[in-house]
């Protein structure tokens, strides 16, 4: 599949889908606290998407080659769960971290974003991992500009994560997005500068680093979806959908409640 270049009309629809995905996270934020189950979070998000936004939850029944259909409307990855955590009866407790990954479809276009939440009073390690992962995402975003290589994104993320004593998950990456949930290119969160396709204005893709406090190795649970760290160390993730512009980038998954970029990005 060739990398699709979005038309101005398609980009406008991507902006709408991206904002709506981010607004699901704004809506759910007050509910993400100790005592609620991940299944209850899923139900709240599902009803908000379907009944209020009139969007389609993209993960629900999503079944790429070789996978059983995903049974829920959002992904909830708690503590050592890296990604694709399936919501269920697990109650969040004080000290947990949880990533909520939201993808909506509106007028045929996908918006994809995630945030990691701290539950109650967490450890300094959990706070630092979550913050460094957020900074990793933005360091990658900052590398986006027409004419530069895709590999520059992953190289910058890998260096920042490893310089801070963390590891980068290799098996899962960002991806092109638009009419399809997953399009070309694959956006690795590690690698070498000067490698990969050259970015062109109109490309849209996600940057969504998964950063582990321990080793990079992962394994899949028996549900066929949930990915965890092999050494049971904490893992955090943040995600935005990005548009390549002539002069840099535009973050498409922003809304009133989006956390601001790190201060060094604004600088």
Q: What pLDDT is stored for residue 265 in this prediction?
A: 85
Q: What pLDDT is stored for residue 23 in this prediction?
A: 98
Examine the pLDDT at 266 and tell me if it is beyond 90. Answer: no
Q: What pLDDT is stored for residue 235 in this prediction?
A: 98
- CATH no., domain 8-266: 3.90.230.10
Q: What pLDDT is stored for residue 65 in this prediction?
A: 85
Length of the chain: 267
- Best CA proximity match to 180, nearest among 15, 98, 64: 64
The predicted model gives 183-193 an average pLDDT of 97
Tens-digit pLDDT profile for residues 171-183:
999 999 999 999 9
Is 241:137 a contact under the CB 8 Å cutoff? no
Task: Kindly report the average pLDDT of the chain as a whole number.
Answer: 97
Residues linked to residue 113 through DSSP beta bridges, in sequence order: 102
Residue 193 binned pLDDT confidence (cut-offs 50, 70, 90): very high
Q: What pLDDT is stored for residue 1 in this prediction?
A: 67
State the Cα–Cα distance between residues 216 and 158, nearest whole angstrom.
11
Range in 35-44, 58-67, 111-120 with the lowest mean pLDDT: 58-67
Rg (CA), the chain: 17
Examine the pLDDT at 166 and tell me if it is beyond 90. Answer: yes
Examine the pLDDT at 32 and tell me if it is beyond 90. Answer: yes
Residue 66 binned pLDDT confidence (cut-offs 50, 70, 90): confident
Angle separating helix axes 38-47 and 8-28, nearest 10 degrees: 130
Residue spans of the domains in the chain: they are 8-266
- Best CA proximity match to 130, nearest among 97, 170, 174, 173: 97
The predicted model gives 37-60 an average pLDDT of 98
State the Cα–Cα distance between residues 13 and 85, nearest whole angstrom.
28
The predicted model gives 140-167 an average pLDDT of 98
SS3 category, 228? strand
Tens-digit pLDDT profile for residues 208-222:
999 999 999 999 999
The predicted model gives 230-240 an average pLDDT of 98
State the Cα–Cα distance between residues 224 and 226, nearest whole angstrom.
6
Residues with Cβ within 8 Å of residue 230, at least 6 apart in sequence: 215, 217, 218, 219
Tens-digit pLDDT profile for residues 240-264:
999 999 999 999 999 999 999 999 8
Residues with Cβ within 8 Å of residue 73, at least 6 apart in sequence: 42, 45, 46, 49, 57, 59, 60
Range in 114-123, 147-156, 257-266 with the lowest mean pLDDT: 257-266
Is 107:21 a contact under the CB 8 Å cutoff? no
Residues with Cβ within 8 Å of residue 203, at least 6 apart in sequence: 3, 4, 5, 6, 176, 185, 243, 244
Sheet holding 174-176, edge to edge: 183-187, 174-176, 204-207, 240-244, 249-251
Q: What pLDDT is stored for residue 152 in this prediction?
A: 98
Residue 19 binned pLDDT confidence (cut-offs 50, 70, 90): very high
Q: What pLDDT is stored for residue 174 in this prediction?
A: 97
């Amino acid at each position: 599949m060739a990398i699709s270049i979005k038309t101005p009309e398609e980009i406008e629809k991507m902006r709408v889908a991206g904002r709506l995905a981010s607004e699901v996270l704004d809506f759910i934020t007050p509910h993400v606290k100790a005592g609620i189950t991940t299944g209850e979070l899923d139900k709240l998000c599902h009803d908000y998407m379907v009944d209020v936004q009139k969007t389609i939850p993209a993960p629900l029944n999503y079944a790429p080659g070789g996978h059983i259909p995903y049974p829920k409307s959002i992904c909830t990855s708690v503590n050592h769960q890296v990604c694709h955590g399936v919501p269920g009866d697990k109650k969040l407790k004080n000290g947990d971290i949880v990533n909520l990954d939201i993808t909506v479809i509106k007028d045929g276009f996908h918006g994809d974003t995630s945030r990691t939440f701290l539950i109650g009073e967490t450890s300094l390690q959990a706070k630092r991992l979550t913050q460094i992962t957020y900074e990793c995402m933005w360091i990658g975003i900052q590398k986006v500009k027409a004419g530069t290589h895709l590999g520059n994104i992953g190289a910058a993320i890998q260096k920042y994560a490893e310089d801070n004593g963390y590891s980068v998950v290799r098996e899962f990456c960002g991806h092109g997005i638009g009419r399809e949930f997953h399009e070309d290119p694959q956006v690795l969160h590690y690698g070498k500068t000067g490698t990969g396709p050259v970015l062109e204005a109109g490309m849209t893709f996600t940057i969504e680093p998964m950063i582990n406090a321990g080793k990079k190795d992962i394994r899949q649970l028996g549900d066929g979806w949930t990915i965890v760290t092999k050494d049971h160390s904490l893992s955090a993730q943040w995600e935005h959908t990005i548009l390549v512009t002539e002069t840099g980038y535009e973050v498409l998954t922003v809304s009133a409640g989006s956390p601001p970029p790190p201060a060094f990005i604004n600088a």
